[in-house]
Structure 1
Amino acid sequence: MAIEEIRVCGTVQGVGFRPTVYRLAKACGLYGDVCNDGQGVLIRASGSEAAITKFVARLQQECPPLARIQQLVRTPYEGELNFNNFVISSSVSNTIKTEITPDAATCPQCQQEIFDPFSRFYRYPFTNCTHCGPRLSILRAIPYDRCNTSMSAFAMCPECEKDYHNVENRRFHAQPVACHTCGPIAWLERADGKPVTASMFSMLDDVDAVCTLLQKGQIVAIKGLGGFHLACDATQETAVQKLRQRKRRYHKPFALMARDLTVIKEYCTVNAKERELLVSPTAPIVLMQAIRKKQLAPSVAPGQNTLGFMLPNTPLHHLILRRMNRPIVLTSGNISNEPQCINNNDAQDKLGTIADYFLLHNREIINRVDDSVLRVVGDKVQTIRRARGYAPTPINLPPGFHNVPQILAMGSELKNTFCLLREGQAILSQHLGDLEDAAAFNAFQDTLNLYLNLFEHKPEAIVIDLHPEYLSSKLGKELATANQIKLYPIQHHHAHIAACMAENGIPLDSPPVLGIALDGLGYGTDSTLWGGEFILADYRRFKRLATFKPVAMIGGTQAIYQPWRNTYAQLIAADVWDNYQQQYADLEIIQFLKNKPLQLLNQLMQKGINSPSTSSVGRLFDAIAAAIGICREECSYEGQAAIEMEALVDINSLNNNKEVVTYPFNFRFLDSIYCIDSSPMWRPLLNDLQQQIPQPVIAAKFHQSLADTITVMVNRLCQENTINQVALTGGVFQNSILLEQVTKCLQILGINVLTHSLVPANDGGISLGQAVIAAAQSMT
């Protein structure tokens, strides 16, 4: 007779793991017990060695849907086991090493129950089980027990208690289990405070009434899983426009939700991988090619050829959409740039001028969790925003990082996430937004404190971006000083490249890769703004080998939101403005620029007043877009011009690129590094405009020209430095056309290409890169 202690680490709490252990142990004839503790799940088992081995094998094969076994260790048990059966023991609190399960979309069984009139969960909007429901969003502490969640406010009724304690039941130890009798409730309120009466519309209940309101063109604020959303009928232009004006989100595409895949397929093409993402427990927003078989309000996604759809992820949303045969807009419940509202009073205060009605509930949201956004590029999933369904699932670090110290990386200023490093894993926070907004920065600090407490994380070092004005960097410095721990300032683009290396499993002591980091901007080691970089990098150090020619950002931040400023700066940098304003005087862009205060702009550039130089490829995209008439005057969000230009690209021109004459770039050797100069491309581009070549063709030519230029530069650098591995990173590589073209060109040359999948290529992935660089440097 053998007695063993079996330690299971990973995502094993709150996912029906202990009931599975119980069922399998009984089936294998074992005695002993299983419990949750801070490290995961601990099993003590007595039986024949063959029976225990069979049990362990079945446990790995029959793991519950949301569980993930990271490590399973068997050791002989030295003590005595006084069990004549197999039981589930109470949780034990000790050092926190276990993983926290992300929130999971409603499982098929719970979906069936909420629409079954004979089920006690019929039309109950908070139905869940161990296979689905809230996790991170309601969690205050580990272990994941009801007393440590916002469900502690609701005492279970006898029926729920019976399910909770029945090991054969799907709801055995499902911490948020509840029903109509004992659980949270949802109710409808008018924004103007007047009473809601049943005579106003036909309805089964308040949740069902939301569908009627949406169909009537009303805007409803809905308290969901990890925050509030604002909803309206996506086919009614008046309603969508009203939402845009009230929310002050004038152009950025809205996310959509549809009842089922059948509805989505009326508006988008859906391939197998996209379908898999949509119906998965993570239920993210998936960006897909629009086909618009049916009419969608034009204001839903202006200037786009993709639509971002998700399926209902809670019973509440399933019930709202039961009668809805068309999509709804479901966008974050906030005023632009502020964090999503999570409590009722705050929502009524901030969203009262936007929404006509509120669907509220009384289950507290502890952790704000926005919707995740993904897309499929080629055959690979690309994460745009990592949040609900994914955070805080840890990312396993590559070989060599298993004994890393505890490290806290503070992330960037925009699209912020932070990262905790411990025991060979990186725990990335959910997307926290742009910290330049005071409310977002406060939410960032609250979430950081929650994570540090949840994981009992005591950083031995703190990592920040080099930029001296980033709020995340300033806070990181304060924390490092207050706790007297080491501070690592890390260059922005090195962090981008390291993040790409880490998620692709590149071992710690591997030879350097060539990283191509293209983005809006990042602070360089020379105190200038970088954004078009070719960098030789490993985890510890980097060397800048090539860059795009620096060009002034006239007006600083204004250049991000007024693309024409970048066009003018490019023409001045190319030293062609004086000639071209006569030669191309008939072109709209030239006439447009002539009407701007050019003398003042020239003085700003000459004197270096609020016109920092940047090698940013993001700003080059803005310059081209403005030149051909896309978002020329202004953008309402960063990258709008580039995104709309990508949507315009004539795919036929790309597919026939051998017949297309691309725009030329120059290569120079300047200050010991290569410099890519876009000056030569302006004459042929303006010629195309003069010959009235369509925008989509010019957009295609620019994308192909840039891809070809990057390929030539990479080929040269790889040969000179004996490299065969290239990492593509930075927000510009969220452009699927550029990413596919560059990847294809480099693979033809036999170069191994690393791209992002688990974390965003944009600044949402920066904190992972910061953390692994600091870990590597600390181990030298």
Structure 2
Amino acid sequence: MKILIKGIVQGVGFRPFVYRIAQDLGTKGWVKNLGGDVEVVLEHQWSEKFIAILTHKLPPHARIDSMQMEDCALERELEGFEIAKSRAKRASIESLLPKDIALCKDCLQEISDPKDRHYRYAFTTCAHCGPRYSIITALPYDRKNTTMAPFKMCVDCQREYDNPSDRRFGAQPNSCPKCAIELRFRDTNKQWSYDESALQGCIHSLKAGEIVAIKGVGGFALVCDSRNDTTLQRLRSKKHRPKKPFALMVKDLTMAQALTKLTQIELEILSSPAAPILLAPKRAYQPYSALIAPEIETLGIILPYSGIHHLLFASLDFPIVFTSANVGGEPIIASLEELEEKLGSVFDSVLDYPREIVRSIDDSVVSMLGGKMGVMRLGRGLAPLDIRLDITKSSKLCVGMGASQKSSLTYGAKNQFLIAPYIGDLTNPASMQRYENIFDFFKEFYALTPDVLCSDLHPDYHSSILSAKKSIQIPCGHIKLQHHLAHFYAVFAEAILQDNSITPQTQVLGIIWDGTGLGDDGSIWGGEFFLGSLQEAVRVGHFEKLPLIGGEAAIRKIYKIGYALALKHRINGLIERWEQRIPPSESQLLKTMLEKNINTIHTSSVGRLFDAVASWCGLLEENSYEGESGVLLESAAAKWEGDSFYDFLLEDGVVVYAPMLAQMQEDILSGATHKVAGKFINTLAQIAWSMSECYADRPVVFSGGVFQNRTLCDKIQHIFESRGRKFYMHRLLPPNDACISFGQAVYAMYQSGH
């Protein structure tokens, strides 16, 4: 019998696993890689027992999506069971790319054991851990199809690699000190040292207060002593990052628990093979600089996930700053040449190695949202993400092209969706090039010819422009989908995965709140309510609009949003306060622009409402990074305990918040900033509940960047669960614009089959 197995079966120790089952059963046959799949041939009488064992005892990171079985005639006599030579075959979209996996406990034990031949070898891996996606050039996942190809294995490594009983059988990144990938360190004097000396040089530099660029699995990170104010000030200045929080890499779970308040779920995800950055509440104990995460109550932490990290922490007893080496908004840098070109003035020394990273990938970021783990950035360890969703019989290949910020790409065919890792904001040439490279990589890797490209409604997004160009070049269809509807379809699809009672035809209420997105009427949306299914959804409500004087430029200078909102609603006490802070000439100009509607746009965006409230509270006047106002309001709200909320009205689906603004003024003028922040977030949760009561028999789904706010999500969870109402949030994809491409692909695929 021949069995073709599809799923996550490459780079996870699947073939030796099959071999061991066959050996235990005593069957004859073979197993081999076939493109991105695995083919098993065995004696018919053992097939039923083989499948039973196979499906119940999979390797840790393997997954079977489908098995095709058929009787076959053998071309040669079987003598035993063997692992046959891989055969090239064009991968299908069901052939899944393996993810990069954190160093496993066995390998960590070996690099820590003076008696082991891998002792203190930074690139120790096995079939259950190490780089995968970042080094693979083609399927099947064989060494010749990775950037390990130039590195010849020594006799010992080759023996392990060829032994089906060894955990390094078929481990493509396998190497040891005898056939080593060279670790090299360049100090401030431009002098190079190697291997153990390189590690010691890096450790010395970190302790001396230097900024060190360290090459990791998916690219370089900028690293320094988190306790050193002078170094932190220098890093912030050179990276043009005045306030955006830095993540910390901590030695172990003990250090993580000392710095942050962690639940059991958070401990498990932090130490999982994906090894993401976890956002968690700070503890009072803060042995790091106040410049790490200024003015906020959460901290991003990550555990060591590569041999290099673990070996460094063998000699470090303090947390280190761990931030992607990139120019603001651009992709993470993966080569020393680009690092020197773009950030040469930022870092002092560098820890590098010669194995190429063919596809850079950022660290994943996760956080508890609404009582469960949510993804904030889909990166190393979690991506490429594959989702199976039975919604249509269509076989057309549909590509979701994403938005502009936090852009992503999704390929969908035969109810299988493949979501590429986080790309970045398509506002600079480097991100645009990476976006096009990833589009071409997946297209060529899987030999895919798209039938339909689905892009955002906004004509000026790079993703929209490229969609129009590619649709002519390929050629293929090109459809456009409104930004917030794409959010709706993305979270709707996740709700189907979370609850079997929800079908593509189920009518749900979608609450979609974010910062921006072109609406069907040509205005900027961002506080939307939709009712519908995968077949069709209609806008049934929105927040009343607020003015942006100066257009989208006001998104940065948010004091203009606060002042304009006070002017529009005649909040006189706050108008007086603003006019004491703004030069008379500027306040008069802003008034004139608002009154005459000069270069002023109007938006229903909840994200911009956050900006206005943050400016009213005096938390900041200009955003130095995306979402800063929301983060500061969340942190302020954490210092107030209360369930009360401000008044608002629902008038024909429109959220009228003028009553809230009047009440808010009283609290602000009395100096109750924390109360204002808490009541504002409570009010948003209450608005969500009140709107849901208008559609009391409908499940409710939430999407959009506003739902990265942990406090808001937790309030919604409390209200909805305590009242027995079904609600769904993103669990596999971020609620921000990184989910847009998935929503586009889901919509396009469903529509193509109906």
- Report the equivalent of 1:704: 682
1:140-155 correspondence to structure 2 within 5 Å: 140-155=137-152
User: Are the counterparts in 1 of residues 36 and 139 from structure 2 also a CA contact under 8 Å?
Assistant: no
Query: Aligned in 2, Cα 1:125/1:601: closer, same or farther, shift over 3 Å?
Result: same
C-alpha distance in 2 between matches for 1:34 and 1:204: 40
1:243-642 correspondence to structure 2 within 5 Å: 243-397=235-389, 399-401=390-392, 403-505=394-496, 509-574=504-569, 576-577=570-571, 579-580=572-573, 585=576, 587=577, 589=578, 591-593=580-582, 595=584, 597-631=586-620, 633-642=621-630
Q: What displacement does 1:414 show?
A: 0.3
Q: What displacement does 1:81 show?
A: 5.4
**2:128 is the counterpart of 1:139:** no
Deviations 1:164-218 (A, max 9, x none): 1111111111111112222321101135x532579xxxx9421232122111111
Deviations 1:34-62 (A, max 9, x none): 011125111000152xx332222211222
User: Are the counterparts in 2 of residues 553 and 612 from structure 1 also a CA contact under 8 Å?
Assistant: yes
Q: What displacement does 1:264 show?
A: 1.3
One-letter amino acid of the counterpart of residue 332, structure 1: S
User: Are the counterparts in 1 of residues 2 and 40 from structure 2 also a CA contact under 8 Å?
Assistant: yes
C-alpha distance in 2 between matches for 1:769 and 1:197: 49
User: Are the counterparts in 2 of residues 28 and 52 from structure 1 also a CA contact under 8 Å?
Assistant: no
Q: What displacement does 1:691 show?
A: 2.2
Residue-pair matches, total: 748
Stretches of structure 2 that go unaligned for 5 or more consecutive residues are: none
C-alpha distance in 1 between matches for 2:322 and 2:402: 28
Alignment partner for residue 686 of structure 1, among 624, 649, 665?
665
Alignment partner for residue 21 of structure 2, among 21, 24, 28?
24
C-alpha distance in 2 between matches for 1:596 and 1:272: 56
Query: Aligned in 2, Cα 1:455/1:651: closer, same or farther, shift over 3 Å?
Result: farther
One-letter amino acid of the counterpart of residue 591, structure 1: Q
Q: What displacement does 1:498 show?
A: 0.8
Query: Aligned in 2, Cα 1:402/1:184: closer, same or farther, shift over 3 Å?
Result: farther
Alignment partner for residue 730 of structure 2, among 745, 756, 759?
756
Return structure 1 stretches of 4+ with deviation > 6 angstroms: none
One-letter amino acid of the counterpart of residue 714, structure 1: S
One-letter amino acid of the counterpart of residue 712, structure 1: S
- Report the equivalent of 1:666: 649
Alignment partner for residue 190 of structure 2, among 194, 203, 206?
194
One-letter amino acid of the counterpart of residue 131, structure 2: P
- Report the equivalent of 2:691: 713
Q: What displacement does 1:483 show?
A: 1.8
One-letter amino acid of the counterpart of residue 688, structure 1: D
Deviations 1:596-655 (A, max 9, x none): 612222333344443211100000011011101111x2111121011111011146523x
One-letter amino acid of the counterpart of residue 405, structure 1: K
Query: Aligned in 2, Cα 1:731/1:746: closer, same or farther, shift over 3 Å?
Result: same
- Report the equivalent of 2:61: 66
One-letter amino acid of the counterpart of residue 757, structure 1: R
Deviations 1:657-704 (A, max 9, x none): 2xx4x32123323xxxx21122222222111122232x2111111111
Stretches of structure 1 that go unaligned for 5 or more consecutive residues are: none
C-alpha distance in 2 between matches for 1:196 and 1:160: 28
One-letter amino acid of the counterpart of residue 522, structure 2: S
One-letter amino acid of the counterpart of residue 137, structure 2: R
C-alpha distance in 1 between matches for 2:357 and 2:96: 20
Secondary structure of the equivalent of 1:120? coil
Q: What displacement does 1:760 show?
A: 0.3
Q: What displacement does 1:366 show?
A: 0.2
C-alpha distance in 1 between matches for 2:661 and 2:503: 43
Q: What displacement does 1:387 show?
A: 0.7
Secondary structure of the equivalent of 2:432? helix
Q: What displacement does 1:508 show?
A: 5.7
Secondary structure of the equivalent of 1:504? helix
**2:3 is the counterpart of 1:6:** yes
Secondary structure of the equivalent of 2:516? strand
Query: Aligned in 2, Cα 1:514/1:616: closer, same or farther, shift over 3 Å?
Result: same
User: Are the counterparts in 2 of residues 207 and 320 from structure 1 also a CA contact under 8 Å?
Assistant: yes
C-alpha distance in 2 between matches for 1:760 and 1:402: 27
Query: Aligned in 2, Cα 1:169/1:104: closer, same or farther, shift over 3 Å?
Result: same
Q: What displacement does 1:405 show?
A: 1.4
Alignment partner for residue 89 of structure 2, among 72, 91, 94?
94
C-alpha distance in 2 between matches for 1:255 and 1:650: 20
Secondary structure of the equivalent of 1:727? strand
User: Are the counterparts in 1 of residues 449 and 474 from structure 2 also a CA contact under 8 Å?
Assistant: no
User: Are the counterparts in 2 of residues 258 and 312 from structure 1 also a CA contact under 8 Å?
Assistant: yes
Q: What displacement does 1:513 show?
A: 1.0
Secondary structure of the equivalent of 2:471? helix
User: Are the counterparts in 2 of residues 550 and 613 from structure 1 also a CA contact under 8 Å?
Assistant: yes
User: Are the counterparts in 2 of residues 508 and 776 from structure 1 also a CA contact under 8 Å?
Assistant: no
One-letter amino acid of the counterpart of residue 610, structure 1: N
Q: What displacement does 1:91 show?
A: 1.1
User: Are the counterparts in 2 of residues 553 and 566 from structure 1 also a CA contact under 8 Å?
Assistant: yes
C-alpha distance in 1 between matches for 2:582 and 2:436: 43
One-letter amino acid of the counterpart of residue 665, structure 1: F
Secondary structure of the equivalent of 1:683? helix
User: Are the counterparts in 1 of residues 505 and 535 from structure 2 also a CA contact under 8 Å?
Assistant: no
Secondary structure of the equivalent of 1:153? coil
Identity %: 36
1:735-754 correspondence to structure 2 within 5 Å: 735-754=709-728
C-alpha distance in 1 between matches for 2:628 and 2:505: 38
Deviations 1:742-771 (A, max 9, x none): 233233443310111100000011110010
One-letter amino acid of the counterpart of residue 698, structure 1: V
C-alpha distance in 2 between matches for 1:212 and 1:197: 13
User: Are the counterparts in 2 of residues 571 and 679 from structure 1 also a CA contact under 8 Å?
Assistant: no
User: Are the counterparts in 2 of residues 500 and 755 from structure 1 also a CA contact under 8 Å?
Assistant: yes
Secondary structure of the equivalent of 2:134? helix
With normalisation by structure 1, the TM-score equals 0.93
Kindly report the root-mean-square deviation, in angstroms, between the aligned alpha carbons of the 2 structures: 1.8
Q: What displacement does 1:378 show?
A: 4.5
With normalisation by structure 2, the TM-score equals 0.96
1:109-120 correspondence to structure 2 within 5 Å: 109-120=106-117
